[in-house]
Chain A
Amino acid sequence: MSPTQIAALAAGGAGLVVLALLPFYIDAYYLSLSISLLQFTVLATAWGLFSGPTRYVSLATTAFFGVGAYTVAVLGELLAWPLVLLIATAIGALMALIVGISTLRLSGLHFVIFTFGLAELVRQLVIWYEVNKTRVLGRYVFVDITQSDIYWQLLALAVAVFVIGWLIARSRLGFALRIIGEDETVAKHCGINVTLAKVTLFTISAVFITLVGAIMAPRWTYIEPSIAFNPTISFQVVIMALLGGAHRLWGPAVGSIPLTLLFEFLSTRFPATSTLIIGIVFLLIVYALPSGVVGLWERVSRRKPEPPVAPQVQA
């Protein structure tokens, strides 16, 4: 390892220690804000993990987040916490496989449409199941998890998503995905099983999103399907990842921090007009920053004659 790499690693480690100690020094308000920041950082990074290289716009974040949260609502009291997380992971992965296998052969646009409705579909299925089979709708979450616990779990998850993202980028799967993003036909003719690669990545991404939902669930004491499957999360995550730039692993995180703060500020100060402002911010990003802050930064800092900015995400 070169000295700079060692220095970077050391700085990263130190930063992590500081972040890990944070809950001991900040009050409840800032802890809750930090949780939101971490939550969206993991969500946006996980989203970018799949949508960045494949250029498929996934609007399914809410569906997986909700499944994670609802798993906790159902099983939280019955089983040990790690087991609950494990089951949430399994359910998220299974759902991602089903959705991936049935939609990722379709064109990107059909995928968007499907994921656009997926949260609504899953929500309806959960309601149907609860009403007909268990006859309860809405559950209390009584688990012994503090806000600090949520924070630490999210921090661990954030580290995991970055490490796994970094490993994927260096793997054959990562290379395959770059080729797929450039030209799917070429990818196939290089012997790449395109559907398998996409489904694998979609599943990895979905598992992280599901876990965020599961970890966040104890934040609410009462969960019902319309709380767990809140569609705005999908939209917020897309905006964040696009602002940062989804073609780099750390791009979405760059976008998630300012936007989380902005949304937090808007929802407390201007609750009535926050949707409108979110829309305007979104349009500004699409028109002014088509490859995100990271893309802008790369162009400014390198001044390398790159091909005309490719559209961020391709359907």
Chain B
Amino acid sequence: MTAASPAPVLEVSGLTRAFGGLVAVNAIDLAVQTGQIVGLLGPNGSGKTTALNLMSGVLRPDSGSIRFAGQAIEGLPAHRIARLGLARTFQLVRVLNGMSCAENVKAGLAFHRPPLSRGEIDESVDRLLRRVGLANRGGLPASGLTYIDCKRLELARALALKPRLLLLDEWLAGLNPSELLIGIELIRSLKDEGLSILLVEHVMDAIRSLCDRCVVMNSGRRIAEGRPDEVLADPAVIEAYLGVSTDA
């Protein structure tokens, strides 16, 4: 019994999913404590996105359990998981291009249980757009946004769900150095507000400065777990990155 540690908001154990013969996620164990940022690392194709897809309900696990806020969610449909307060962004940014920025955020607000009032929704749209740095852009069509602004908008939509846990899939990838600093600060401020975050990331600076703990995957398996500096110094991790892919 480790009564001292705070209750984990997310607890994954033995999570497994195969595509045909390829076991993309293989018996993964992982926990995110309330208020922590946990990094999920690994070379390209190691199964990180697949793991997130299993947690957010895009895919069904073959076996293993996922407990979110004390409730078993493995195999639940994605909309049920979202309503429980698990939000995510996507590695390939998904904004609703045919809608305005405000409507994109509203998409995350309109389907709360119990439903919000019209006034609350309008007020939250403004607040969230401001929060991610898109103040006064609500009326613009989302299709005209730059790459970083698309990422911001997607984050605002995720935050609109009032999540307890946020899954970020390489949200910082593709940003230039100054945008990266802004992005890191934004994520840190979310943590300061008490949000728990599972962060899939290749950007080492971000991992070092943001994560409380890290889990490293390779070929679907967990190969290391611990504090960022420990994990990044682990010979197995270094070999996984250097042996499989040199651009990480």
Q: Do chains A and B touch in the complex (CB under 8 A)?
A: yes
Residues of A within 8 A of B (CB): 172, 175-176, 178-179, 181-183, 185-194, 307, 310
B111 at the interface (CB under 8 A from A): yes
Q: List 12 A-B contacts (CB under 8 A).
A: A179-B99, A185-B78, A186-B96, A186-B107, A188-B57, A189-B82, A190-B107, A190-B108, A191-B82, A191-B112, A192-B79, A193-B77
Query: In whole angstroms, how far apart are the Cα atoms of A183 and B107 in the complex?
Result: 11
Interface residues on B, range: 20 to 34
Residue of A182, A187, A189, A192 touching B87 (CB-CB under 8 A) = A189
Given contacts A176-B111, A185-B58, contact A190 B94 (CB under 8 A): no
Which residue of chain A has the shortest Cβ distance to B143 in the bound complex?
A: A307
Question: Are B161 and A310 interface neighbours, CB within 8 A?
Answer: no
Question: Are A182 and B58 interface neighbours, CB within 8 A?
Answer: no
Residue of A181, A185, A191 touching B83 (CB-CB under 8 A) = A191
Mark interface residues in B96-110 (1 if CB within 8 Å of A CB, else 0). 111100000011101
A interface, over-half SS: helix
- A residues near B17, Cβ cutoff 8 Å: none
- B residues near A194, Cβ cutoff 8 Å: 79
Residue of B87, B94, B111 touching A172 (CB-CB under 8 A) = B111
Query: In whole angstroms, how far apart are the Cα atoms of A179 and B106 in the complex?
Result: 10
Question: Are B111 and A189 interface neighbours, CB within 8 A?
Answer: no
- B residues near A172, Cβ cutoff 8 Å: 110-111, 115
B222 at the interface (CB under 8 A from A): no
Query: In whole angstroms, how far apart are the Cα atoms of A185 and B90 in the complex?
Result: 10
- B residues near A189, Cβ cutoff 8 Å: 56, 78-79, 82, 87-88, 158
Which residue of chain B has the shortest Cβ distance to A186 in the bound complex?
A: B94
Given contacts A182-B96, A182-B98, contact A188 B107 (CB under 8 A): no
- A residues near B111, Cβ cutoff 8 Å: 172, 176, 190-192
Query: In whole angstroms, how far apart are the Cα atoms of A194 and B80 in the complex?
Result: 11
Residue of A181, A183, A190, A193 touching B161 (CB-CB under 8 A) = A190
B221 at the interface (CB under 8 A from A): no
- A residues near B98, Cβ cutoff 8 Å: 178, 181-182, 307, 310
Mark interface residues in B134-171 (1 if CB within 8 Å of A CB, else 0). 00000000010000000000000110010000000000
Question: Are A178 and B82 interface neighbours, CB within 8 A?
Answer: no
Question: Are A188 and B82 interface neighbours, CB within 8 A?
Answer: yes
Q: Quick one: which of B83, B99, B111, B143 has the most chain A CB within 10 A? A: B111
Question: Are B94 and A183 interface neighbours, CB within 8 A?
Answer: yes
Shortest distance from the beta carbon of B103 to any chain A beta carbon, whole Å: 8
- B residues near A185, Cβ cutoff 8 Å: 58, 78, 90, 94
Other contacts beyond A179-B107, A188-B58, A190-B161: 10, CB < 8 A: A172-B110, A176-B110, A178-B98, A186-B157, A188-B57, A190-B111, A190-B157, A191-B113, A194-B79, A307-B143
Which residue of chain B has the shortest Cβ distance to A196 in the bound complex?
A: B79
Query: In whole angstroms, how far apart are the Cα atoms of A192 and B56 in the complex?
Result: 13
Shortest distance from the beta carbon of B173 to any chain A beta carbon, whole Å: 19
Question: Are A307 and B78 interface neighbours, CB within 8 A?
Answer: no
Which residue of chain B has the shortest Cβ distance to A105 in the bound complex?
A: B77
Query: In whole angstroms, how far apart are the Cα atoms of A205 and B35 in the complex?
Result: 47
Question: Are B99 and A182 interface neighbours, CB within 8 A?
Answer: yes
Shortest distance from the beta carbon of A140 to any chain B beta carbon, whole Å: 49
- A residues near B56, Cβ cutoff 8 Å: 189
Question: Are B97 and A182 interface neighbours, CB within 8 A?
Answer: yes
Q: Which of B175-211 contact A (CB under 8 A)?
A: none
- A residues near B143, Cβ cutoff 8 Å: 307
Shortest distance from the beta carbon of B28 to any chain A beta carbon, whole Å: 21
Shortest distance from the beta carbon of A200 to any chain B beta carbon, whole Å: 14
Which residue of chain B has the shortest Cβ distance to A175 in the bound complex?
A: B110
Q: Which of B66-85 contact A (CB under 8 A)?
A: 77-79, 82-83
Q: State the 3 A-B residue pairs at the shortest beta-carbon distance, nearest first.
A: A188-B78, A191-B111, A191-B82
Which residue of chain B has the shortest Cβ distance to A195 in the bound complex?
A: B77
Query: In whole angstroms, how far apart are the Cα atoms of A190 and B106 in the complex?
Result: 10
Query: In whole angstroms, how far apart are the Cα atoms of A295 and B239 in the complex?
Result: 56
- A residues near B82, Cβ cutoff 8 Å: 188-191
Shortest distance from the beta carbon of B91 to any chain A beta carbon, whole Å: 12
